[in-house]
Amino acid sequence: MAATDNRKVVEGVHKMTPSEAFVETCVANGVSEMFGIMGSAFMDAMDIFAPAGIRLIPVVHEQGAAHMADGYARVSGRHGVVIGQNGPGISNCVTGIAAAYWAHSPVVIVTPETGTMGMGLGGFQEANQLPMFQEFTKYQGHVCNPKRMAEFTGRVFDRAMSEMGPTQLNIPRDYFYGEIECEIPKPMRVDRGHGGEASLQAAVELLKTAKFPVILAGGGVVMGDAVEEAKQLAERLGAPVATGYLRNDAFPAKHPLWAGPLGYHGSKAAMKLIAQADVVIALGSRMGPFGTLPQHGMDYWPKAAKIIQIEADHTNLGLVKKIAVGINGDAKAVAAELSRRLADVTLGCDATKAARADTIATEKAAWEKELDGWTHERYPYSLDMIEEAKGERTPTGGSYLHPRQVLRELEKAMPARVMVSTDIGNINSVANSYLRFDEPRSFFAPMSFGNCGYALPTIIGAKCAAPDRPAIAYAGDGAWGMSMMEIMTAVRHDIPVTAVVFHNRQWGAEKKNQVDFYNRRFVAGELESESFSDIAKAMGAEGIVVDHIEDVGPALQKAIDMQMKEGKTCVIEIMCTRELGDPFRRDALSKPVRMLDKYKDYV
């Protein structure tokens, strides 16, 4: 929580400037940090951030600021706030806000814009700033009069929490000045309930006859602080719990009913178990299409299973999958209410609890054994071992390491209460099989927006919100090139994090498509780079190069010690082979057909 939670909130009607109204409304909503780059458009408000107890954390690029606000919100459960200069500063944030939208993060983006007397004249840094965020915000507030500054500011904070997604506050830059009379609105928070009586009873009746129920725990479990309630429901049913795609922290991995994540490079155990379900309880999950695609050669989704979907957003009910029962309610409240109603009811699955527990344990053990032996990618999923075939050595004389071996060693070395962010990319996607957590608000990924440059700034924001927890970012060398400059932000502002960079000198995910669909005609996929460890050192961080498998775990432990004990940021550069995992978009590609003779050989 913020260090300034005891700040006094202004009450009653007062004369003040619009800047003061904006800042005081932020204080009323508990804002203690903002991320962005200073600018003249909001300088009058920025001038009073510090005495109000608000720390503006300057970044290197505004996309990073939006990701930091996202990470901050996802860890704290409170607002993450990003602000920047009108025009190019604000447009730089679009990608980060889009990622926050698909993560359902309560991020508030403050967008000062061209002054009212210059609008439409093509002035300096003028842009129409509402349309560019329209698709990726739950609500857009435009301050149409300086007297309404506090009103609109309060509303965007309220709506970010009630709608669980980004909101935008658009302010003409001349509206920060003057004198107004206003009252600072108190925050309003929606108290969500456990759904309607008819839908709850229908769910109970369906569960009475279920033989093999399975729970799919989604982001709503994390955001709704519903992990304990999910555990109670799972234990009552004896149901295995699969987590949604990139929601690995929605159920504790140490729990015997945990089965692992579904979706791309997920857990075979989770897939084999949910395939047996006759009833699936989708708890806080929209069952997004990318998270239920066939994987590992298995079309595992149970076509005949009855689905009970529990969603706080009623528009997600039945949106992706046909459902038998839809409950519009809070994941925490609904899970608790179902457990209460099922407590003294005889269920069809009661008699088979012990057998189901054995099945769960057997499938999990088989998957762990497979992962232990899965040291490198198998044909046809592996690109030729170019380095090994040539006897090539790393620049420091070591060996290029197999990504799966690296990920397993990193998993073993993970500290308690760790937070991990992953970027998009081949090795990061394979990491989905190896990342396990025992508490919520621990895992962050760009979700279905899938943008590069996400992991590092997001983990910086997460660390800012939870400085007592170890913070690690995973990134491939391609994505790292889009975000590594934020190492300077971590160093400059004493927000120590650890970054693991998988240096395999390629755009791996897309290169795999060229292997599978384009007869290995590689175009624009090579990424020969200088030492990322040395670059990190030049930015003021520590750097470690790893090219021996036995050094992976110790390197992570050393970096975490530096982070937690010495307050130092460290980049671990791991030299990896060019192995490629399962294709990233097999659902979206097919073998090309060339129509023109000049391209006839390219089929």
> Which tokens hold the place of 383?
């690109």
Q: What is the pLDDT of residues 62-81, one digit of tens each?
A: 999 999 999 999 999 999 99
Beta strands in 325-439 (DSSP E): 325-328, 419-422
Question: Which has more pLDDT, 456 or 115?
Answer: 456
Closest CA to 492 of 424, 439, 569, 387: 569
Helical ranges in 83-196 per DSSP H: 88-91, 94-102, 149-163
pLDDT at 378: 74
Q: Is 476 helix (H, G, I), strand (E, B) or coil?
A: strand
**Confidence band for 147, pLDDT divided at 50, 70 and 90:** very high
Average pLDDT over residues 578-601: 78
Most confident of the ranges 189-198, 567-576, 593-602: 567-576
Confidence tier at 23 by pLDDT (50, 70, 90): very high
DSSP assignment letter at 290: G
Question: Going by C-beta distance under 8 Å and a sequence separation of 6 or more, which residues neighbour residue 464?
Answer: 33, 57, 68, 71, 72, 495
pLDDT tens sequence across 279-321: 999 999 999 888 888 888 899 999 999 999 999 999 999 999 9
Helical segments of 431-501, H only: 455-465, 477-483, 487-492
Do 183 and 49 meet the contact criterion of CB atoms below 8 Å apart?
A: no
User: Is residue 391 scored above 80 in pLDDT?
Assistant: no
Q: What is the pLDDT of residue 587?
A: 64
Residue 380: which pLDDT band, with cuts at 50, 70 and 90? low
Q: How confident is the model at residue 389 (pLDDT cuts 50, 70, 90)?
A: very low
Whether the predicted pLDDT of 120 surpasses 90: no
Least confident span in 72-86, 137-151, 512-526? 512-526
**pLDDT averaged over every residue in the chain:** 93
Confidence class for position 381, pLDDT limits 50, 70, 90? low
Q: What percent of the chain has a predicted confidence (pLDDT) above 70?
A: 96
pLDDT (mean) for 382-411: 80
pLDDT score at 529: 87
Query: Residue 4: its pLDDT value, please?
Result: 45
Tell me: pLDDT of 341 over 90: yes
- Going by C-alpha positions, the residue among 102, 266, 338, 247 that lies closest to residue 274 is 266
Average pLDDT over residues 563-583: 92
Q: Is the pLDDT of residue 387 over 70?
A: no
Q: Which of 114-123, 327-336, 487-496 has the lowest mean pLDDT?
A: 114-123
Question: In the structure, what pLDDT confidence band is assigned to residue 355 with cuts at 50, 70 and 90?
Answer: very high
- Percent of the chain, pLDDT > 90? 81
Which pLDDT belongs to residue 129?
95
54 pLDDT exceeds 70? yes
pLDDT at 520: 82
Q: What is the pLDDT of residues 262-281, one digit of tens each?
A: 998 999 999 999 999 999 99
- Asked whether the predicted pLDDT for residue 2 surpasses 50, the reply is no
Distances (CA, A) of 444 to 218, 248, 285, 342: 13, 9, 16, 33
Residue 1, pLDDT > 50, answer: no
- Give me the pLDDT at residue 563, please: 98
Per-residue pLDDT, 3: 40
The pTM (predicted TM-score) of the whole model is 0.95
